């Protein structure tokens, strides 16, 4: 497993805007979309390509085409804010929603919904969730995908805590994790510090 924390100046700038407590929900959602595009650009940099011949208006050209199909697995509900950007980048991708929430008393994940029917139709699935806090929801999401039969999984988020990345690494040592930042720690309630609050609440004004 490798932890990839983006060093891109635009990622750092937009993340700073996202963290501000006075950022309104409409701008918060727009920033999540923009950050998702930038992070997915990095998370898909190792996708294999194969040569292909196409006809241009003038002649036949040798081009490259993805040789793997890609799917997205957003964790409800905060992960919904990342799906639109993901589909802009890969509009034919398979999307499989995963319903997982964190029990605030135990901080353990509770699975309540999934669209993992039939067999996997993509070669690699990217789990989408803005926050990697305790890591338990991410671990549960990867567990669900692997039980379903997904052969390759990655995690793409905005902010992680060391506790979360460690939990995900321990459970799935082969997994690649892509983040905009890794913050200092979790507080007693399981929120990332300094973080940005509850990403779901801030997106949907709840």
The span from the CA of 186 to the CA of 177, in Å, is 18
* Residue 193 burial (CB count, 10 A): 10
Give 156-202 as a DSSP string: E-SEE-HHHHHHHHHH-TT-EEEESEE-SEE-TTS-EESS-S-HHHH
What tens digit of pLDDT does each residue of 144-184 get?
Answer: 999 999 999 999 999 999 999 999 999 999 999 999 999 99
User: To the nearest whole percent, how much of the chain has pLDDT over 90?
Assistant: 83
pTM for this entry: 0.93
> Is residue 147 helix, strand or coil?
helix
* Domain positions in the chain: 3-204
- Confidence band for 77, pLDDT divided at 50, 70 and 90: confident
Instruction: Tell me the CATH architecture of domain 3-204.
Output: 3-Layer(aba) Sandwich (3.40)
- Confidence band for 1, pLDDT divided at 50, 70 and 90: low
């Amino acid at each position: 497993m490798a932890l990839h924390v983006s060093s891109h100046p635009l990622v750092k700038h937009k993340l700073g805007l996202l963290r501000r407590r006075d950022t309104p929900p409409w701008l918060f959602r727009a920033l999540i979309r923009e950050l998702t595009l930038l992070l997915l650009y990095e998370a898909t940099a190792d996708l294999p390509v194969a040569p292909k011949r196409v006809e241009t208006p003038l002649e036949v050209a040798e081009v490259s085409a993805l040789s793997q199909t890609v799917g997205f697995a957003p964790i409800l509900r905060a992960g919904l804010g990342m799906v639109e950007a993901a589909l802009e980048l890969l509009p034919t991708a398979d999307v499989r929603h995963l319903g997982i929430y964190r029990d605030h008393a135990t901080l353990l994940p509770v699975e309540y919904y999934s669209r993992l029917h039939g067999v996997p139709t993509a070669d690699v699935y990217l789990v989408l969730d803005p926050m990697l806090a305790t890591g338990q929801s991410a671990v549960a999401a990867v567990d669900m995908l692997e039980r379903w039969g997904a052969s390759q999984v990655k995690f793409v988020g905005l902010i992680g805590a060391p506790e979360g990345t460690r939990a995900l690494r321990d459970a799935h040592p082969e997994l690649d994790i892509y983040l905009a930042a890794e913050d200092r720690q979790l507080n007693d309630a399981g929120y990332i510090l300094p973080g940005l609050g509850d990403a779901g609440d801030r997106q949907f004004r709840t």
